[in-house]
Amino acid sequence: MSSKSVKITLPDGSLKSYIGPITAIDVAREISEGLARNVLAARVNDQVVDATRIIDADATLELLTWNDQDGKSTMWHSSAHLMAEALEALYPGVKLGIGPAIDAGFYYDVDFGDRPFDGDQLVLIENKMLELARQKNDFKRADISKTAAIEYFQRKGDEYKLELIDGLADGTITFYSQGNFTDLCRGPHIPNTGFIKAIKILNIAGAYWRGDEKRKQLTRLYGISFLKQKDLSEYLELLEEAKRRDHRKIGQELGLFTFSKKVGKGLPLWLPKGAILRERLENFLRKAQVKAGYDPVVTPHIGSKELYVTSGHYEKYGQDSFQPIRTPAADEEFLLKPMNCPHHCEIYKSQPRSYKELPVRYAEFGTVYRYEQSGELHGLTRVRGFTQDDAHIFCRPDQVKEEFAKVIDLTLYVLKALGFPEFTVQVSLRDPENPQKYIGSDADWNRAESEIQEVAAEKGLKTVVETGEAAFYGPKLDFMVRDAIGRKWQLGTIQVDYNLPQRFELEYVGSDNLKHRPVMIHRAPFGSLERFIAILIENTAGNFPLWLAPDQVAILPISEKYHDYAQQLFLDLQEKDIRGFIDHRDEKIGKKIRDAEVKKIPFMLIVGEKEQSEEKISIRAHGKGDLGTLSLIDFLETFQKEAFRDL
RNA sequence: GCCGACGUAGCUCAGGGGUAGAGCGUUUCCUUGGUAAGGAAGAGGUCGUGGGUUCAAUUCCCAUCGUUGGCUCCA
């Protein structure tokens, strides 16, 4: 190898010269030994590579450690290889699918053949991995010809790897080895297995080979690893905390909703406390929508099959949906509505429209029913009957962008008022590979897709583009959030649709006295009440903002001698539309306070001898403790200030 | 829908081939109390459902329903 001069530019702009060839580790070592010990990978000319890769030309270099997501990913990807090595050692003959790093950790898809596999074996695998990690085996990269690669995996009898190799071009194939394990892999990897100090295999699940439900299902082992045992403990603690926030758990503890096998799976039953929460949210949005120029409409829960044949829903989802409802009349069929838009289209059509009255905005809290796959049902986030905060805006083509922008404002207002700090805005476009999944012309799609992106850009939204995520009738702007266990869900959605107006032959008379076709915008800021509330529960851990809390106050008499005073107070508060109850139980005040705290009730109003004689109330705020003694008037002021803080 | 796990009192869970147990909650009684659990007694379960094996099944096996972790799907 020639020893020519290599100039390295570091992220801070500093320039270093070496007599090459060198590696990222060499550069790190020159800065400090400590840094060199912590380098997991390197970004050389914007490409993430092994920290041990030779750099033999001038380059920009960023040293990646645990503090960089790419550093973590490299470590986790290497951990997947380590797990594969452990699996081969423990279960000779296992076949391996793919084993990538994910947002938090890694997985490997494996085929155990006929061997039974259960969760008890996870600890064995972890221990084997740790044993192998301690050997500090180097990850070695090797370029390999396609023929040699095929030969290797043919000898090994791993048809999955052979299939992967089949899709690769000769000359681009690399193998990575550590210890006794060699894998087809693009890399990069950490320098050696010794970095992996703490490992947890989190769960096992089935996963179709190459994501295709028609192909064999492999066993997917999910794991995570860390440089320090302490980091693993903290991570596991975080998972525990997430479980405590789970809306299914809190929903039951606070008596918000339930399910019944007899009613049917995926059909939530809202309990009184949950129903109040829902009602508050609905009223909040109703008020905002009146201001934004929406008109409420109400439509039935079913519609004739014809309606959905017209909309295209029947063709698209008819087989996978609740099946038609029949009547005593022959050939008469109705469908439970899976969407409100067809009904709203018919409302639009109920009278001739002039360009002067557009846009019209029809809003409805519409309950819809979709036969979701049984394996998909999950708490309130994925159910078979749910209520959309739906509305359809019918406008002229020249109004689309302005209307779309207004809906973005409304959605952002809703998310802000409810304290959703973390969401991503996703532009969901059609999948160019699968045009048969969509209805309508390319021209309309192109137009709708660019309108969405233009408005999002004008609004300054940072968006992520996802192709293939559009609805079958149009592209969407989706507001995505994560739940307590890290799953991504769509909440709010705004969609531009040129297709349904056409299918329903919607028209308006323009200023030219000719008939024109309106454009539809579908939108739902919450998405569905069910899912929105699920996420709200997890975000707040059940500590709802005062204006939403099902019980806003708990009146706690010190003893039954003060029940009359408590009753009077209760009536006074009810007069002011404040929700609450009196804890009449024969319990000590400490117990009543504890129970009210556990129920996360915002204000505890304690009344005893002192309060009764002074006509006052002692206030205790949830999670904050004693706020002292106030008159009713002063308390109301405190209360109102808190209640309207976010609105 | 597919693969795996789970299903015992209202809730959280322990147990295990010989017809069940704890804590919390609930009921009654005592207690009338001052900012996160006062005391006592009682009630409450055909161990998800249906088959099978067995002298005997809640326990073992099979099926089914439900829940659940993923995969696939998501108007």
For residues A357-368, give the mean pLDDT: 97
Instruction: Report residue A46 as tokens.
Output: 């914007």
Active site residue A392: yes
Q: Calculate the angstrom distance between C1' of B8 and CA of A618.
A: 44
pLDDT at residue A163 is higher than 90: yes
pLDDT per residue as tens digits for the range A488-540: 899 999 999 999 999 999 999 999 999 999 999 999 999 999 999 999 999 99
Taking alpha carbons only, the member of A303, A373, A403 closest to residue A343 is: A303
Residue where a domain terminates, one of A210, A242, A274: A242
| pLDDT at residue A62 greater than cutoff 90 | yes
Asked if residue A4 has pLDDT above 90, the reply is no
* CATH code of residue A299: 3.30.930.10
The pLDDT of residue A265: 95
Residue A19 pLDDT > 60: yes
**What is the CA A89 to C1' B56 distance in angstroms?**
46
**What is the Cα–Cα distance from A202 to A107, expressed in whole angstroms?**
10
- Domain final residue pick, A47, A65, A83: A65
Q: Do A158 and A289 belong to one domain?
A: no
Which among A364, A305, A302 has a CA at the least distance from the CA of A336? Answer: A302
The whole-number average pLDDT for the span A628-638 is 97
> pLDDT at residue A7 above 70?
yes
Report the nucleotide nearest the CA of residue A371, measured to C1'.
B74
Give pLDDT, residue A473: 94
Final residue before a domain boundary, out of A196, A213, A242: A242
pLDDT tens per residue, range A393-415: 999 999 999 999 999 999 999 99
Residue A441's pLDDT is what? 94
Residue A168 has pLDDT above 60, yes or no: yes
Interface confidence, given as ipTM, is 0.95
| Average pLDDT score, chain A | 94
Encode pLDDT of A417-472 as tens digits: 999 878 999 999 999 989 999 999 999 999 999 999 999 999 999 999 999 999 99
Query: Which nucleotides of strand B lie within 7 A of protein CB?
Result: 1-5, 11-12, 26, 29-38, 65-75
Q: Residue A570 sits in a domain of what CATH number?
A: 3.40.50.800
Neighbours of A440 (CB within 10 A): 19
For residue A37, the enclosing domain spans 5-65
A390 noted as active-site residue? yes
pLDDT over 60 at A2, yes or no: no
Predicted pLDDT at A127:
93
Residues A493 and A351 in one domain: yes
Mean pLDDT of A145-173: 94
Confirm whether A168 is domain-assigned: yes
Pairing relationship of beta strands A580-582 and A553-557 according to DSSP bridges = parallel
Digit-coded pLDDT (tens) for A469-502: 999 999 999 999 988 878 889 999 999 999 999 9
Q: Are A527 and A409 in contact (CB under 8 A)?
A: no
Nucleotide with C1' nearest the A265 CA: B66
Residue A517 lies in a domain: yes
Q: Could you read off the pLDDT of A106-121 as tens digits, one per residue? A: 999 999 887 767 666 8
Protein residue closest via CA to C1' of B36: A594
Question: Both A419 and A567 in a single domain?
Answer: no
Q: Which residues contact A76 (CB under 8 A, 6 or more apart)?
A: A101, A102, A105, A106, A224, A225
Asked whether residue A337 falls in the same domain as residue A207, the answer is no
Same-domain status, A129 and A95: yes
Task: Identify the active-site residue in A178, A388, A490, A612.
Answer: A388
Residues A125, A93, single domain; the answer is: yes
> Is residue A251, in this structure, part of any structural domain at all?
no
The C-alpha R_g of chain A, in whole angstroms, comes to 31
Query: What's the pLDDT score for residue A122?
Result: 86
* A370 given a catalytic annotation: yes
A53 and A152 housed in the same domain = no
> Nearest residue (Cα to C1') for B70?
A205
CA of A31 to C1' of B44 (A): 71
Instruction: Give residue-wise pLDDT tens across range A583-631.
Output: 999 999 999 999 999 999 999 999 999 999 999 999 999 999 999 999 9
Whether A356 has a pLDDT exceeding 90, the answer reads yes
The one catalytic residue among A278, A337, A353, A522: A522
**Is the separation of the CB atoms in A322 and A371 below 8 Å?**
yes
**Mean pLDDT, to the nearest integer, of A356-373?**
97
Q: Which nucleotide is nearest to A203 (CA to C1')?
A: B69
Q: In this structure, what CATH number is given to the domain that contains residue A56?
A: 3.10.20.30
% of chain A beyond a pLDDT of 70:
99
Total domains present in chain A: 4
